[in-house]
């Protein structure tokens, strides 16, 4: 099994950041070095 890059708390923080700011998904993906499919 592959170890996740982010903890559940970090995942929640990233999602909340996307909902609470005007930063689009593409920018968040670049910021956290994740792919768009992983984000969605």
pLDDT at 38: 87
pTM of this prediction? 0.73
> What 3 state SS string does the chain have?
CCCCCCCHHHHHHHHHHHHHCCCCHHHHHHHHCCCHHHHC
| Segment 2-35, tens digit of pLDDT | 777 889 999 999 999 999 999 999 999 999 999 9
Measured in degrees and rounded to the nearest 5, phi and psi for residue 31 equal -60, -40
Burial class for 9, CB neighbours closer than 10 Å (0-12, 13-18, 19+): exposed
Residue 8 gets the label, from left (phi > 0), alpha (psi -120 to 50) or beta, of alpha
pLDDT at 9: 95
pLDDT at 13: 94
């Amino acid at each position: 099994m592959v170890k996740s890059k982010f903890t559940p708390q970090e995942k929640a923080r990233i999602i909340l950041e996307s909902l609470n700011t005007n930063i689009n998904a593409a920018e968040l993906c670049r910021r956290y070095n994740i792919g768009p499919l992983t984000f969605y």
